[in-house]
Amino acid sequence: MEMTRDRYETLITNAEIQARVDAIASEITTCYSGTVPIMMPLLRGAFVFAADLARKLDLDVEVDFLGASSYGGATETSGEIRMTLDSSSPLSGRHVLIVEDIVDTGLTLGYIQKLIRSRGVASLRTAVLLDKQCRRKSQVDIDWAGFTIPDRFVFGYGLDGPGGLFRNLPDIMALPAE
């Protein structure tokens, strides 16, 4: 069966996303004024959000990447966190900005935040595109959130969808509501 975009519902348009990215970038620029933070997107889902955000920051920023997964190939978290890529930068004394695509249960982000804090950072802040608060199982610190979303499987704008497809869609899409 062919997967096509018209089978899915648009939850957040790219225009809405870009307006929110602009606002978050402005706040981050103010927050980190006078410093050179290290932006650490979590791969793979945050790559589009992080790229748009980085280009809109009005400050110097270093970029490194982290990879962690609790989903495997499923649409719901397994609860078991697996690091797929660790930072190659020394973090002691640095101002770190984690960039995440979506916070669901909070287990993955909580794990990453604890790991980064253990490395002696000067500060740690987090920007997330999507916050699915209704599923939270672990307390996490979120400094900037793009959108609060309902308990739906979402994809597009960097997040993978059915069959690992649709990361390239400009909007945030969802499976049809049941």
Q: What span, in angstroms and rounded, lies between the C-alpha atoms of 94 and 110?
A: 19
Tell which residue, 37, 25, 27, has the closest CA to residue 122: 37
Q: What angle do helix axes 47-56 and 14-31 make, rounded to 10 degrees?
A: 60
Question: Other CB atoms closer than 10 Å to residue 4's CB: what's the count?
Answer: 7
Catalytic residue among 6, 58, 86, 104: 104
Token output for 162: 């059915």
Backbone angles phi, psi at 74, to 5 degrees: -90, 170
d(CA 105, CA 136): 4
Check if 151 is active-site: no
From 62, 28, 8, select the one nearest 175 (Cα to Cα): 8
> Which of the residues are catalytic?
104
